Chain A
Amino acid sequence: MITAVLKKYRLEIIFVVFVVAFAALFLYEQNVQTQAHWEGSDDQGSAAIEATGYTPWIQPLWTPPSSEVESLLFSIQSGLGAFVIGYFFGFYRGKRETAKPE
């Protein structure tokens, strides 16, 4: 019984184990690396470029006025992606259910 469930959901179990391990490692490292800022690798990269004496020759056409507005836009991007994924997986499931012989 239990082995059957483990077999059926083995990929889900592996995924959850990895997510938990990732989160646990992050929480551990957060306490260990007190000097870490957790900023974006692109910010670090740009800082490394500026350290060579380079100044960007063009600015973005439009920049979100605050990190709140920026995170809103990133959330909209996630939301759009998740909506399309959920829509089609729901559609596939509905199709499968109706195709099942009574």
Chain B
Amino acid sequence: MHIMEGYLPWQWCVFWYLVSAPFIIYGIYLLNKQVKERRETLSLLAVSGAFIFLLSSLKMPSPVVGSCSHPTGTGLSTVLFGPIITAVLSVIVLIFQALFMAHGGITTLGANVFSMGIAGPLLGYAVYRLGKAVNLNIFINVFLVTAVADLFTYVITSIELAAAFPAAHGGFMVSWMTFFAIYAVTQIPLAILEGVLIALVFKYIIQSRGDILVKLGVLTQEQVNKILGSFS
């Protein structure tokens, strides 16, 4: 889960704010452009944001580890709108949770936005493009993108904490192993389950708004027709 309020030295808070800010500013510009020029995609944008809202509110037990965490829900938006717009959607959720639930924090917002909104979705998007290039089945691709975006979020969280709190003996690497075991390992079963869910949701999106997926360049009309045919 997110880094809690006050649990990053202020220098690191400033650093992660500075790293995240350009993505968010560019993201707000892209989001405005998307809404103005492609009004028809607005409903899918709302649905993508709603999945981040819904999934990041579900604290689930992680069977193997014996602790709890929540999915990130950023996979769908990454596939449909790319990582930069996803970053803006994540900011909304993270501010909501920081203000009303004391979950995450305002000082740690920059770091949490970088892990959940930027780094996770960016790697997820790289996976998506790669999958597309090798003509991977779209549902397997969506599964991989979602699971990778989720898991990588917490790999980054553990790196952020290890950088801020290097171990007295062994430094960054020793500290990273500690935080990796806590944040990233907990996340593995959740990331897999989230990937399977979003792959299923993607079927409903193809069935409902295949036309918009074609406009967004996610699928071609022939692919949409073929997929629809395979489910009838």
A and B physically associate: yes
Chain A interface residues (CB < 8 Å from chain B): 7-8, 11-12, 14-15, 18-19, 22, 25-26, 28-30, 33, 35-42, 44-46, 48-49, 52, 54, 56-64, 70, 73-75, 77-78, 80-85, 88-89, 91-93, 96
8 Å CB contact of A88 from B43, B64, B186: B43
Identify the interface centre among A14, A57, A80: most chain B CB within 10 Å of its CB: A57
8 Å CB contact of B107 from A30, A37, A41, A58: A58
Closest Cβ neighbor of A70 among chain B residues: B101
Closest Cβ neighbor of B9 among chain A residues: A57
Chain B interface residues (CB < 8 Å from chain A): 1-7, 9-10, 43-44, 46-47, 49-59, 61-69, 96-103, 105-107, 139, 154, 157, 161, 165, 167-168, 178-179, 182-183, 186-187, 189, 192-193, 196-197, 199-200, 203-204, 208-209, 230-232
Q: Is the CB of A38 within 8 A of B208?
A: no
Q: Is the CB of A84 within 8 A of B47?
A: yes
CA distance A9 to B99 in the complex (A): 41
CA distance A12 to B232 in the complex (A): 14
Q: Is the CB of A33 within 8 A of B6?
A: no
Q: Is the CB of A58 within 8 A of B6?
A: yes
Add 9 more A-B contacts to A36-B66, A39-B67 (CB < 8 A): A22-B189, A36-B65, A42-B2, A54-B7, A57-B9, A59-B6, A70-B101, A77-B53, A78-B54
The B contact surface, by secondary structure, is: helix
Q: Is the CB of A81 within 8 A of B2?
A: no
In the bound complex, residues from chain B placing their C-beta under 8 Å from that of A93 are 208
In the bound complex, residues from chain A placing their C-beta under 8 Å from that of B57 are 74-75, 77-78, 81
Q: Is the CB of A18 within 8 A of B66?
A: no
CA distance A36 to B65 in the complex (A): 8
In the bound complex, residues from chain A placing their C-beta under 8 Å from that of B165 are 49, 52, 54
In the bound complex, residues from chain B placing their C-beta under 8 Å from that of A49 are 7, 161, 165
In the bound complex, residues from chain B placing their C-beta under 8 Å from that of A25 are 63-64, 189
